[in-house]
């Protein structure tokens, strides 16, 4: 088994991981970063990004991740392709094993594995991802100004997304598979009071359609109830998923404290976890904001926390 050592192991790329790599490299921690199953994170599936500071003309997700990657490499970060398949945080130094069997011993670990948006599982979702299908209204809503969009979901997140889009789009459809909203009473009232939001109760999406870009959704009302079942097509420009995110934390579960939905718990406004020397940055510890810029900021915080920890140990 190949064995390597580092002062700082960063697990996962994306804005949080790459920013952590930039800061830890400048602090002479000689970090090793493993990019993970999706190098660059969720933003690599986003076509246009117009709200990340420093890009007045906008950029694309892949270009932004490439810029951050090159910046980290410029300061000496060791960026590697591969996946961390197991960890042992009960020993010192901390240990992690990669998919090729390499054992990494690290003084500190920064977890930036992100969270994966939940999708309906339709083949069409992948086909139109970035071409009309999105899991982030705050990220992509601007492109649907004055257009027709739909949001799938019935909880607080779905209502928040619908309300946000209602200030941009001409029409917003909230597709809810049940006969009621699960959202809080306050959120329900706000949605119901919005003139350009229409709620489609007892409705499931069974497919999407369009030539080059998304043009609409195939819907079914009262699915499975043959007497009331009704199929129809809804023309749309944008289709937003708001049925939750799944944090990528399974490999850390035996050691790291997680909340009820699987997000890593951190101490107060820091990136410190329950394991000394292990820090969490980005969407893996953030179920509220989930933005590229907030992920990058937490990557900076994790790097500073890791540097302070090493200094204190020395």
Measured N-to-C along each axis, helices 292-313 and 14-26 cross at an angle, to the nearest 10 degrees, of 40
Q: Is 136 a catalytic residue?
A: yes
Count Cα neighbours of 88 within 13 Å in the Cβ-side half-sphere.
9
From CA 57, how far away is CA 199, in angstroms rounded? 36
Largest CA distance in the chain: 73
In angstroms, the first-to-last Cα distance of the chain is 29
d(C-alpha 98, C-alpha 127), whole Å? 31
CA-based R_g, the chain, Å: 21
Residue labelled with tokens 């027709």: 148
Catalytic residue among 8, 107, 124, 136: 136
Helix (H) or strand (E) holding 199: strand 197-200
Query: Is 140 an active-site residue?
Result: yes
CA nearest neighbour of 217 among 154, 162, 174: 174
Catalytic choice (124, 140, 237, 286)? 140
Indicate the pairing of strand 103-111 with strand 238-241. Answer: unpaired
- Structural contact between residues 33 and 72, judged by C-beta atoms closer than 8 angstroms: yes
- The Cα 255–Cα 259 span in angstroms is 13
Catalytic hit among 139, 237, 286, 305: 139
Q: Which residues are catalytic?
A: 136, 139-140
């Amino acid at each position: 088994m190949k064995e390597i050592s580092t002062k700082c192991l960063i697990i996962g790329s994306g804005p949080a991981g790459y920013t952590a790599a930039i800061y830890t490299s400048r602090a002479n921690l000689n970090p090793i970063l493993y990019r993970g199953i999706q190098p660059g994170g969720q933003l690599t599936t986003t076509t246009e990004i117009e709200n990340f500071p420093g890009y007045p003309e906008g950029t694309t997700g892949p270009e932004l991740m490439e810029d951050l990657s090159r910046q980290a490499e410029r300061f000496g970060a060791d960026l590697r392709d591969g996946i961390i398949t197991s960890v042992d945080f009960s020993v010192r130094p901390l240990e992690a094993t990669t998919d090729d069997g390499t054992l990494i011993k690290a003084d500190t670990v920064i977890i930036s594995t992100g969270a994966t948006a939940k999708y309906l599982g339709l083949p069409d979702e992948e086909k139109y991802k970035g071409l009309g299908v999105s899991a982030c209204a705050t990220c992509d809503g601007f492109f649907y100004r004055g257009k027709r969009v739909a949001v799938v979901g019935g909880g607080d997140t779905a209502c928040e997304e619908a309300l946000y889009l209602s200030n941009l789009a001409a029409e917003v459809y909230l597709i809810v598979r049940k006969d009621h909203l699960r959202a809080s009473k306050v959120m329900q009232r706000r949605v119901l009071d919005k003139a350009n939001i229409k709620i489609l109760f007892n409705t499931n999406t069974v497919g999407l359609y369009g030539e080059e870009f998304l043009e609409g959704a195939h819907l079914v009302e009262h699915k499975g109830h043959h007497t009331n079942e009704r199929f129809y097509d809804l023309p749309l420009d944008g289709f937003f998923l708001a049925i939750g995110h799944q944090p990528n934390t399974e490999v850390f579960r035996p050691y790291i404290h997680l909340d009820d939905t699987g997000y890593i718990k951190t101490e107060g406004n820091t990136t410190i976890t329950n394991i000394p020397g292990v820090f969490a940055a980005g969407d893996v510890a953030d179920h509220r904001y989930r933005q590229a810029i907030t992920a990058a900021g937490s990557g900076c915080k994790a790097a500073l926390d890791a540097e302070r920890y090493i200094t204190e140990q020395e």
